Amino acid sequence: MAENEKALWDRRGFLRTAAASTAAGALPTVAQSTDDEHDHQDLPSDLALRVKALESLLVEKGLVDPAALDVLVDTYENKIGPRNGARVIARAWADPAYKARLLADASLAIAEVGFTSGQGEHMLVVENGPKVHNLVVCTLCSCYPWPVLGLPPVWYKSAPYRSRAVIDPRGVLAEFGTHIDEDVEVHVWDSTAELRYIVLPERPAGTDHLSEEQLAALVTRDAMIGVAKVSPPGEAS
């Protein structure tokens, strides 16, 4: 499989598997997991090939538009999902009492805003500060707080990120354009099926006059994973 085709498969695999399995009259089983049973394994190659073959057939018959599927996945990966988390972060910045509740019991505080699901019953928020920077990874697979971050990005699931985030976190951050001073500690948090982490980024300077909605617009998915910082208004992230 060519590299670009592999990238497309990685990016759309989740929705394709669900759609293909439904079309075939059965729900996906290998990719599914519960809090009690989480095998941390990728889809078997034979299932991936069957899904790819079914997708190719549907595309050939004009029943599926790959471009439309890309747009759908991008929407959930980068817009709808992360916007939920951005609202949580903005409220924590604007409301000290809510921030205290968020740091004490993230799942309960996030539920206050209306975000909860089977992939986010147990969440923990870790706060960045002047001398601490937090980075989230899942070293075994791709455990991720879906209710507040949406679909995990392809790089988050990749083997290089999962291994190097632990071995060389500063190097990984630098590759994302995030340079951490030597006197700042970098803490790496390993998400699991039982506990998923979210970073509470530092509030950028010059934002005291902004509303929660305006603050939320500054927060990115990458900042809530920890590979980026939140930029002040008018500056690129």
If you ran DSSP here, which 8-state letter would residue 32 be given?
-
**Sign of the alpha-carbon dihedral angle for 187, 193, 195, 200:** positive
Check 45, 141, 191, 231 and give the catalytic one.
141
Please, what's the largest Cα pairwise distance for the chain?
A: 59
Please say if 33 is a catalytic residue: no
Sign of the CA dihedral with 228 first, then 150, 76, and 3 last: positive
d(CA 145, CA 75): 16
Q: Degrees (nearest 5) of the Cα angle 61, 16, 224?
A: 145
Contact 106, 124 (CB under 8 A): yes
Residues 178 and 108: beta-carbon distance below 8 Å:
no
The residue from 21, 107, 142, 191 that is catalytic is 142
Catalytic residue among 56, 143, 163, 191: 143
Residue 138 appears among annotated catalytic residues: yes
211 is catalytic: no
Per-residue b or e along 50-68, where b marks 16 or more CB atoms closer than 10 Å to that residue's CB: bbbebbeebeeeeebeeee
Residue 151: which of 10, 3, 4 has the closest Cα?
10
* Token pair recorded at residue 161: 């990120």
Of the residues 21, 107, 138, 191, only one is catalytic, namely: 138
| Whole-angstrom distance, CA of residue 85 vs CA of residue 54 | 34
Return the structure tokens found at 43: 């889809």
One-letter amino acid at 83 equals: R
By annotation, the residues acting in catalysis are 138, 141-143
